[in-house]
Amino acid sequence: MSRSARFRELLRTPPFICMGAHDAVTAKLAEQAGAKAIYVSGFAASAIVAGEPDFGVLSQTEMFEHIRRICRVTTIPVFADADTGYGGVLEAQRTMKLWEESGASVLHLEDQAMPKKCGHFAGKQLIPPEEMRQKLRAMLEARQDPDFFIVARTDAVAVSGLDDAIERLKSYSEVGADGLYVDAPESIDHLKEISRRLKPLGKPLLFNMARSGKSPYLSMKEVYELGFDYALCPIEPMFAMHKAVKEMMEIFLREGSTNAVADRLTPFDEFNKFIGLPEMAAREKRFSS
């Protein structure tokens, strides 16, 4: 069974979480920890690849290469942010083709105007719903694998309100989007209303579990009870990395050694085993003997 087909199987038995991975190492860690799917965030990619905030700084091909590196080292389905599709309908079609080529199984396309911003930043602008529907139709036409899952995302809550967000997603559902995603709802009442009005469409509903954004922080169990089928844990691994590495470097530079943080460091041999050194050495020996 392909990874895309396996993702659709996960949606038959919700709930589940797509664990954020911002590079090859965190992708391998997510799979090792038991994650059922991985999420590749544009926010995290902007920080990791460019060292810049999520203001649409990465090009389509930079994001493609970033996703491909993550897909190469994992066997579980990868859900990859596609931002606005990087332009108009033809660019959206190319994004569809590239994301399939990268090995991803899922993407979400958002209805922000370019240059886009992180969904939890101020100052977002929207494209007209019809323009978004055109992009979705273009992506659906370009899709080669019928199991590849296309999620329509709206950022309308912070711009034009919850009612517009819901009406937009209803119209995106009508053109064939596989799943629906309201980004940055601001209260449990918002979540209840989203579920009440969109659940009858029969499309899986996605929730973003970003801990320090605009949305209430809820457990997967709580989110599921509100009517959402699956969730993203998009940026917490990157934040954990940032805090741990920042503290290690500060202590090392202050004290001149890593003695004070030795218990927080993975041993050299253990890390080499994690990244597959024994298997690679065995392959080399087999071919050279």
Active-site entry in 208, 229, 230, 233: 208
Q: Is 145 a catalytic residue?
A: no
Active-site entry in 23, 54, 111, 178: 54
Active-site entry in 110, 155, 178, 183: 110
* 86 CB-near residues (< 8 Å, 6+ apart): 59, 60, 92, 94, 95
Residues linked to residue 112 through DSSP beta bridges, in sequence order: 126
Q: 89-102 vs 60-72: helix axis angle to the nearest 10?
A: 20
Active-site entry in 23, 31, 83, 147: 83
Active-site entry in 8, 108, 133, 143: 108
Q: Is 163 a catalytic residue?
A: no
Q: Is 164 a catalytic residue?
A: no
Residue 6 to residue 241: CA distance in whole angstroms: 29
Q: Is 137 a catalytic residue?
A: no
Q: Is 186 a catalytic residue?
A: yes
Active-site entry in 153, 181, 229, 230: 153
Active-site entry in 91, 100, 131, 186: 186
Q: 129-142 vs 162-174: helix axis angle to the nearest 10?
A: 30
Active-site entry in 23, 31, 39, 66: 39
Q: Is 263 a catalytic residue?
A: no
Residue 112 to residue 266: CA distance in whole angstroms: 41
Active-site entry in 8, 18, 31, 81: 81
Residue 78 to residue 37: CA distance in whole angstroms: 6
Q: Is 81 a catalytic residue?
A: yes
Q: Is 108 a catalytic residue?
A: yes
Catalytic residue list: 39, 54, 81, 83, 108, 110, 118, 153, 186, 208
